Amino acid sequence: MPILRSQEEIAAEIDALEALRPTGPFAQNTERQLALLVDVLRQQVDFTTPEFTELPETEQMTALDAEAWRTGDSDFTPSTGWRGLCT
Q: Where are the domains of the chain?
A: 7-19+26-70
In tens, the pLDDT along 71-83 reads: 999 999 999 999 8
Calpha distance 44→52 (Å, rounded): 11
What's the pLDDT at 55? 95
Instruction: Tell me the residue type at 27.
Output: A
Does the predicted TM-score (pTM) go above 0.75? yes
Cα dihedral 17→75→72→86 (10° resolution): 10
**Tens of pLDDT, residues 7-63:** 999 999 999 999 999 999 999 999 999 999 999 999 999 999 999 999 999 999 999
- pLDDT given for residue 64 in this prediction: 98
